[in-house]
Structure 1
Amino acid sequence: MKRHTLSKKQKGPLGPLWLRCVLFAAAGLCMGLAVAGAMQWISTGTLPGVAEWALDYPGHLLMTALLWAAPVWVLGSLTGRLWLAALPAGALGLILALVDYFKNAINGTPLELADFGLAKQAGNVAGLAGDLTPPEDFYPAAAGLLFCVLLLLLTRRLTALEGTARGRCCLCSLALAGILLTGTGTRAVGSWLGVDFYTRMDPAENHSLHGLTLSLWRDAFPQPKTAPEGYDEDFMLDVLARIDQLTAPRQEPEARPNILFILSESFYDLTRLPVLQYEGDPLENFHALEAESVSGTFHSHYLGYGTGYLEIPMLYGLNALDLPPGTNICFQDEAVYQRFDALAEQFTKSGDYTAEMFHAYDNTLYNRTVTYPLLGFNDLYFSDDIQQMGIERADGAYGGFYMRDG
């Protein structure tokens, strides 16, 4: 009986309660730092890169650590096992970092909050990228997190909380998590740590400056903008009336020409490249069309693979900076799209034109079967439909995953 009692005592908490509370808080914060460091390691590809970021922006590192420590504290106090709470936090951090790495590999842009709107289509997106292999730094980063979990397991008696102390710790952890889950609380903590939650940034700059976790968090809790003086519904109605006045046809045209609007990912004006010289104009027809019509440069806020994010702005004139952070412009309610007059609608709403869309890929991405009819298109044709039209090429209709456009 004595041996059993001694053995049972040995398995219980070790040390005074105040010390175990301090160690519980410190261990959870250390795990948060470990997750932040591992994610940044996968992102930058080098440990010196992690150290440089941490030294340049210690407040960003600490804020990121708090965001990961909060769920560890909550789950640790609920389960009574801090090491067990660290496992899902570490796994989620690694998954997010890996998704971010793959997105950068696919199109050269970091993971954004708006990208989660494509979560159901992740398989299709990944299929276009071919073989996606985790970076070499992923494995040592994962091993480092597992080592941290092992340390928490081995020292679990030093962080064990029971009874009333465990309940109080759970309440404090939930309170902190609640603060970080509100815009006001997040900005207050961020302001104390020197984190800017006010300035809208390009996704790449946001990611580079704040790291993956904090860049996503900044988009989730943006600072609300103050409307400029005189900006109200009446002002916008006056603007729309003026636009209608300026765009109203002066006289009925004798003929209504067919209009082609072509958006090609693979096209580029080679003559814009510096230094390169050509014996003749490689894009003679294109430059002739430019000279004969209205032409210019369209500047897009978007970069890389997100074709849907390019199509909607070109047809609506909107981009990500016109919408709240984290808004996926391709997945909005019907009422949102109906507030704007799209390019195709300028012709179809009069009843004199019919708009048709041809897309070289299938209909699985970017919600096109929903948004394009709302943009004013009457008929949609995707790759399967186009192949039924009997178009033949000597080199085959397909080039990779898409129908050839050259």
Structure 2
Amino acid sequence: MRLFWAVLAALALCLPGAAAPGPPPAAPAGDPSDPPLLAYYYQWFSPGSWQRAKTDLPLAGPYSSDDPQVIDRQIAEAQSAGIDGFVVGWKQGTVNDRRLRKLVDAAEARHFKLAMIYQSLDFYRRPLPVAQVAADFRYFRDHFADSPAMLRVGGRPLTVWSGTWQYSHDDVARVTSAVRGDLKVLASEKNVDGYRRIADVTDGDAYYWSSADPEATPGYAAKLVDMGRAVHADHKIWLAPCAPGFDARLVGGTKPVPRRDGATLTAEYDAALRSAPDAIGLISWNEFSENTYVEPSRAYGDRYLQVLRDLRGVRATAVSRTDPGGSGDVPHRSAPGADPSRAYWAFAGLAAPMLLITPLAVRRLRAARRSGPAPAEGRETGP
């Protein structure tokens, strides 16, 4: 009965015109046919970055990740396409910290959500020292995790550790044991066995698989379903991947995945949905070296934002660059005049006060209702 009345109250909040004091802490929860969409976002760019390993450029030109106007426009464009948040690549450092702070400030202004993916492999794909990884997770907790922009699950900001497969079980436990009381830490394992190896010291899995071709990779969709089942069997968090295409030949890749004018993205999005994800991890907003970006570009214009709008059921809106947080930048996924993004997160934020209800109970309710800059410069984690 507690769950019934909590859900009823949440639905009331989602009605157009419902009063709310502001966006509460969020969690990947809600309609399993319409999970949150989180795009992997990279902040490694300076004007010189665009002169190497790039076959296309952003429509906005060779920008710097330090430019607040660029950051604000990116968030507004993402919102206009039904993207609920960014999973931002980070490791501790003066430049990265400064850029993450600017992104956090912009996300707070636009009521946009952020998660963090920690880059534990260096430019040559070597694992960073465990002590450095542990220190960086603590630094993130102490300096960024309290922002209202952070996507929360059960009250804890969501993070992903990229490269867990390079560390032993004891190494992973050493890092996560100090922060799991304050952060949700997802692994980035590539298969069920990898996930199970460290399941007891992590909070789920976010599989970063950008090189798969839905038309040519055997067992592609079935693998995602198997991983989703394994993670959910432990009542943990599953982020399923999807990408618009892939071509990393300029950074060591060998086999591209064609975009097929949006058909690849559509097929991968549908496969991700079939794995019952708690959120979908879109690869990527702006990975221009591996050519997985959906950010408007010179070669494709805003074609892939249009594909996302179709997939997400979002009405195209003009992107304002002078009114942060204005209603003109909010994707319309319900009745005109409503602010669906705030309503969505208001509903999702009920996960925290509903901690007494297990994830298994939530899934039963759903069933009843139905009847170095490695990521920006060649970060391919593959099958």
TM-score by length of 1: 0.19
TM-score by length of 2: 0.20
- Determine which structure has the larger helix proportion and give its number: 1
- Determine which structure has the larger strand proportion and give its number: 2
